[in-house]
Amino acid sequence: MPSNTTITPSTLSVKDHLWQIFWNKNRCTLCGRCTAVCPVQAIELGVFRKRVIESPMNLTETPSTSFKVYYGIRQRTDPAYACIGCAMCNLVCPNDCIAPMRTDEADKLKFHINRGGTPRRRGGRRNDPGGILDQIKFIRISMLTDPALDAGRHEFELRTLLGRVLPPEEEMNALKTGDWIPPVREIYPLIIGAMSFGALSPTMWEGLQLGVTYLNEELKMPVRICTGEGGCPPRLLRSRFLKYVILQVASGYFGWDEIIHAIPDMKVDPCAVEIKYGQGAKPGDGGLLMWYKVNKLIAAIRGVPEGVSLPSPPTHQTLYSIEESVAKMIQSMYMAWGFRVPVYPKISGTSTAMAVLNNLTRNPYAAGLAIDGEDGGTGAAYNVSMNHMGHPIASNIRDAYQVLVKVGKQNEIPLFAGGGVGKNGNLAANAAALIMLGASGIQIGKYIMQAAAGCLGSEGDRCNICNIGLCPKGITSQDPRLYRRLDVDKVAERVVDVFLSFDSELKKILAPLGRSTSLPIGMSDALGIADADAAARLTIKYVV
């Protein structure tokens, strides 16, 4: 920087940035791939002037100074072009000569990502890699009186129920009288949670659907996937594969015109309808699809103009009261499919979840409750919502289960837990812990993006630009130049890998606990933790 340059408040050095590019001149071939691939143009061609002192090895010539020019990579320091740490430069570099490094102290960049008075918005998860789920251990190992089972060879029934399960007396009675019995789906306990067509690229969406279909049709694993708020491609709506899909309706009602019109043509019923009231990543805030991603296709499916941001309201529209609206919406959705499709709400983790749950216990149509904890991921949200709002899932799901135990409705209103499950890669252990705390099933979103498509995002604030359509892996982009990087079939293959390995790991957890005939929902006696306060809060054993 020249000495006479004006320093603005937002003038930052490379050192002030969260991610700092290290570039090795000696190995650089100047091929330009890194600058071409960088999704945010954080690096550019640098022309460097370098002073060279030449000291001759004799006494006749005097040392001289010359100036040379060389070319290389320069990191831009304007906050608008800050490096996001995605390391695509490293991925494409033929000589491994470039890589982003994380700063060794709190960065100064975060004080400046609000130009124009707009706070930072991003995708990803809460930037906190820790969490209670990884600390929970499975301590009730079957020994002697009930032998541990063989995870590889024993038969296991790892299924869960989605739908309102009547109390046995009522169900027996309804069978006799022919009364309506709520629809219940028997599904795999790991569900691919709501990620909309729009938030995800077409290749990612298709890959997920393909993988789920393969799991169902070829491997007989009844895995289900939720559409998220953004509708569903018309062909899928009219296909026999719709039964593997949970349709989501949220406060923006995007895509529902298309869905409603397709009902008469549907060959099969969808698995269920999820009414989204909240989301763990941005509790109390509506969905958000930023204008970058609203191209012609997305606009058509959602029934909106192209190129405008689509912020959904924080709540569903209502004329009288929200409770009435919830009840009516659940009922209307049941009616749309002739009371054959389970309808359940999804809320963000909150200390008020118990009030919601108590309401649902009195609503005979509520088919379940999905709770999304503070670590849930998103395609776009305000940074402050992601980092500071929301309730951890573990205690929320435990409280909810215990409320149900109190009123005797455990497993009758199945609870589905989501939000940061497997965020450190321990998917099966986290899922099993939540199931034993009381969840009937687990929803994952970010995990499947990471595992099935190679999403780079992390809780160390890496990448996280899902919101602006520049996903360097093509997972959350609507730009064909980016999403063609993602091979649909390979994504499907990875989805299958993920579910198969999850299934094996879950068995490796359940078999030593002596469980095989049913999913161990609420088997809290199997859990322990080396934190007395957490143990007391979750009513599990304190073990050291």
Contact with another protein (CB under 8 A): which of 217, 257, 306, 525? 525
Contacting another protein within 83-142 (CB under 8 A): 140, 142
Contacts of 86 by beta carbon, 8 Å cutoff, 6+ apart? 39, 100, 456, 462, 463, 465, 472
The phi, psi pair for 222, rounded to 5°, reads -75, 65
User: Helix crossing, 202-217 with 446-453: angle to 10°?
Assistant: 90
**Of the residues 82, 166, 428, 429, which one makes contact with another protein according to CB under 8 A:** 166
Distances 494 to 123, 441, 448 between C-alpha atoms, Å: 22, 21, 9
Region of 7-15, 289-297, 371-379, 520-528 interacting with another protein (CB under 8 A): 520-528
Backbone angles phi, psi at 25, to 5 degrees: -60, -35
DSSP 502-537: HHHHHHHHHGGGT--SS--TT-GGGEEES-HHHHHH
Interface residue with another protein among 410, 458, 476, 478 (CB under 8 A) is 410
The residue (of 97 and 165) whose beta carbon lies closer to another protein is 165
Residue from 32, 56, 70, 146 in contact with another protein (CB under 8 A): 146
Q: Under DSSP, is residue 211 helix (H, G, I), strand (E, B) or coil?
A: helix
Rg (CA), the chain: 26
Residue range at the interface with another protein (CB under 8 A); choices 11-19, 62-70, 301-309, 400-408 = 400-408
Asked if residues 197 and 232 have their Cβ atoms less than 8 Å apart, the reply is yes
Cα 299–Cα 302–Cα 307 angle in degrees, nearest 5:
30
| Tokens at 509, concatenated | 């957890």
Task: Work out which of 168, 178, 264, 305 binds another protein, going by CB under 8 A.
Answer: 168
Q: What is the dihedral of CA 505, 508, 513, 517, to 10 degrees?
A: 80
Whose Cβ is closer to another protein: residue 411's or residue 450's? 411
Cβ proximity to another protein: between 387 and 410 the closer is: 410
User: Does residue 179 interact with another protein by CB under 8 A?
Assistant: no
CB nearer to another protein: pick between 43 and 523: 523
Shortest separation between residue 515's beta carbon and another protein, angstroms: 5
What gap in Å lies between CA 523 and CA 395, rounded to an integer? 15
Q: How far is the CB of 149 from another protein (least distance, A)?
A: 8
Cβ burial of 85 (10 Å; 0-12, 13-18, 19+) is: buried
517 touches another protein (CB under 8 A): yes
Which part of the chain contacts another protein (CB under 8 A), choosing from 129-137, 176-184, 349-357, 445-453?
Answer: 176-184
Q: Which is nearer to another protein, 349 or 520 (CB)?
A: 520
Is residue 147 at the binding interface for another protein, with CB under 8 A as the rule?
Answer: yes
> H-helix or E-strand containing 417?
strand 415-418
407 binds another protein (CB under 8 A): yes
User: Among residues 204 and 510, whose Cβ is nearest to another protein?
Assistant: 510
Min CB(119)–another protein separation in Å: 45
**Of the candidate residues 31, 47, 175, 530, the single one contacting another protein (CB under 8 A):** 175
Tokens of 239: 């296909």
H helical segments located in 218-371 = 234-237, 256-262, 296-302, 322-336, 353-361
- CB 468 → another protein: shortest distance, Å? 45
Residue among 165 and 465 whose Cβ is closer to another protein: 165
**Residue whose CB is less far from another protein, 35 or 440:** 440
230, containing H or E segment: none
CB of 339 to another protein, least distance (A): 16
Choose one: 257-265, 277-285, 391-399, 401-409; the region binding another protein (CB under 8 A).
401-409
Do residues 397 and 426 lie in contact, with contact meaning Cβ atoms separated by under 8 Å? no
The tokens describing 182, both together, are: 């709520």
Confirm or reject binding of residue 497 to another protein (CB under 8 A).
no
Could you say which of 171, 479, 505, 531 contacts another protein (CB under 8 A)?
171
Q: Provide the minimum distance between the beta carbon of 404 and another protein in the complex, in angstroms, as a whole number.
A: 8
161 binds another protein (CB under 8 A): yes
> What residue spans of 414-487 are helical by DSSP H?
427-437, 446-453, 480-483
Which residues form the interface with another protein (CB under 8 A)? 140, 142, 145-147, 149, 155, 157, 159, 161, 165-169, 171-172, 175-176, 181, 184, 186, 405-408, 410-411, 513-518, 520-525
